[in-house]
Amino acid sequence: MPETPEITAATQRTLQGQRLKYYIENEPAGDRVDQFLRAFAAVLEFSDYRPLLDSYCTSSAKCNRCAVSCPVYLATGDPRDIPCYRTNLLLDIYRRYFTIGGAVEARFSRSFELTDDVIDDMLEVFYRCTACRRCTRSCPMGVDHGLITRLGRYALSLIGIVPKALQVSVREQLEGDTHNTSKVPKEALMNTLEFLSEELEDILGVTMTFPVDQTDRDYVFYCAVSDYLMEPETLMGNAAVLYAAGDWDKWTIGTGNYDGINYGLFYSDWHLENIIKRLVAEVTRLRGRNVLIGECGHASRSAHDFVPVFGGKEAYPVVSFIEYTLDCIRKKRITLNPDIITERVTYHDPCNIARSGWIVEQPRDILRSFVKNFVDMVPHGQENYCCGGGGGLVSVDEIHDFRMEIGGRVKAEQLQKVHADIVIAPCANCKKQLKELVEYYELPCKVMGLHDLILKAIEIPGAKSPAERAEEAALLAV
């Protein structure tokens, strides 16, 4: 019996995947130029990038409009930081080595040649781009430089050129003992959840025992695993909303996989796919019905965009915690006290959920519902600037100076001008970068998660009131 088209396509995909896997798991032979060309060929074979590259090869208007929208170029003025310069590095290679026109041209004239120097150039400039995609909005031809950055990084990663921080995190998540990027063992997770319960009891005066490995729940919860170590207020805010909404028995954390981070989004489609499959497998194990993603830009985007692609028949709906909370407010399932937050508050749009996503007005609607003095920075929404640590750069400690002086300089100027006391950033990576910027530039503001602020204002039946909690917090701060 002939195979159905669906099976054929799936089989082909697996075979091509095996070929890519070879590049990932084996030391490639030959010199670097040869290795890169073979790796790029494997990526092109495995993926659907060709039509896009063919179109970009012919479409640039060479207008340089992309230059002035790029915060990296604005900070340096270096022509090598112009988005289309970077993109053209990869397009030159594609044109020369992977199109018939390029091959013919090379036979009859002196044409572009890939050298070690070009590879060095690529490895530098592809990791100076934060993949924020701000430039794409200003390109009249729709060239997506962030996507080209990812593709360039992908091919480079196959020949072993990838920042160690990203590589080590992804390896631990897919193959390590803990299966998460921060190497948090299950015992440490359980201890942290116990600690968070005790803290919540102190703050709110109610007992909440975090649900773990519960089956048949509406929501299986994922945050950036680093939140369990670094952002307890965000997690307690998430918990307070679920509790106040009466959904405490409708969610769970799974101990088989509790990390929503997906650094594959920044440098490797292969790893992106496998991390998504692990996430989906945990929801299946627990017979959950939805994936609930906490405050993390790239975790939200990768799950939202790629669970439907790689989740197969088990492609569960993905719910962002921001949307869940807004829905609870609109349906009057939770109440936020409008008299608690008196500071001037602004909002930073994480690129992955605003420009590359679908979350712009939702957090603003939440903030305006209980913050009297909310002000937007200029520009904001999909035009907002990246924190300067996007595309995974925030995880690379070795480039701290670059992130402060170049990647995040425009963001720091923006923060200076808005004169806010509190900057809300619903993303683990943005928070880390923005906190470092605030410290580096000595800005008089505090960076917090959205649910950290909600935790202060939420009314919970039977718990201490927000006013009582504010009084207690003020006493503790003295």
Which parts of this chain interact with ligand SF4 (CB under 6 A)?
A: 60-66, 69-70, 72, 83-84, 129-135, 139-141, 143, 145-146, 149
Minimum distance of ligand SF4 from residue 332's CB (angstroms): 40
Q: List C-alpha distances in Å: 25 to 15, 22, 246, 381.
A: 15, 5, 47, 41
| Nearest-approach distance from CB 178 to ligand SF4, in angstroms | 32
CA separation for the pair 60, 400 (Å, rounded)? 33
Least CB distance from residue 401 to ligand SF4, whole Å?
17
Cβ neighbour number for residue 421 with a 10 Å cutoff: 14
Question: For residues 363 and 391, which CB has a smaller minimum distance to ligand SF4 in the complex?
Answer: 391
The edge-to-edge listing of strands for the beta sheet with 219-222 is: 251-252, 219-222, 290-293, 318-320
CB 115, CB 230: distance < 8 Å: no
> What order of strands is seen across the sheet that includes strand 422-424?
345-347, 422-424, 446-448
The residue among 286 and 406 lying less far from ligand SF4, judged by its C-beta, is: 406
> Rounded distance, CA 101 to CA 95, Å?
7
Residues 6+ apart with CB under 8 A from 476: none
Closest distance between ligand SF4 and the C-beta of residue 65, in Å?
Answer: 4
Nearer Cβ to ligand SF4 (70/428) = 70
Nearest distance from C-beta of residue 133 to ligand SF4, angstroms? 5
Nearer to ligand SF4 among residue 336 and residue 406 (C-beta): 406
Q: Nearer Cβ to ligand SF4, position 72 or 241?
A: 72
Distance CA 392, CA 266 (A): 6
> Smallest distance, Å, CB 411 to ligand SF4?
12
Element (H, E) at 459: strand 458-459
28 contact partners, CB below 8 Å, separation of at least 6: 35, 38, 39, 158, 159, 160
Q: How far is the CB of 409 from ligand SF4 (least distance, A)?
A: 12
Give least dist CB 135 to ligand SF4, A: 3
**Are 379 and 386 spatial neighbours (Cβ–Cβ below 8 Å)?**
no
User: Where is 290: in which H helix or E strand?
Assistant: strand 290-293
CB of 417 to ligand SF4, least distance (A): 20
Helices (H), 311-423: 321-330, 361-370, 400-402, 409-418
State the minimum distance, in angstroms, from the CB of residue 325 to ligand SF4. Answer: 29
Radius of gyration in angstroms for the set of CA atoms belonging to the chain, rounded to a whole number: 23
Burial (CB count <10 Å: 0-12, 13-18, 19+), residue 124: exposed
72 vs 166, beta carbon nearer ligand SF4: 72
Which is closer to ligand SF4, CB of 286 or CB of 434?
A: 434
Amino acid at 224: A
Nearer to ligand SF4, 10 or 378 (CB): 378
Q: Give residues with Cβ within 8 angstroms of 202, minimum separation 6.
A: none
Residue placing its CB nearer to ligand SF4 in the complex, 33 or 57 = 57
For ligand SF4, the closer of residues 140 and 246 by Cβ is: 140
Residue with tokens 């430039």: 135
Nearer to ligand SF4, 148 or 425 (CB): 148
- The residue (of 70 and 165) whose beta carbon lies closer to ligand SF4 is 70
- Residue 400 beta carbon to ligand SF4: minimum distance, rounded to whole angstroms: 17
Is-contact 262 276, C-beta < 8 A? yes
What's the burial of 62, exposed, middle or buried (CB within 10 Å: 0-12/13-18/19+)? exposed
From CA 248, how far away is CA 204, in angstroms rounded? 15
Q: Least Å distance between CB 76 and ligand SF4?
A: 11
Residue 411 DSSP SS3:
helix
Which residue, chain included where needed, has tokens 């060479």?
62
Question: What DSSP designation does 139 have?
Answer: -
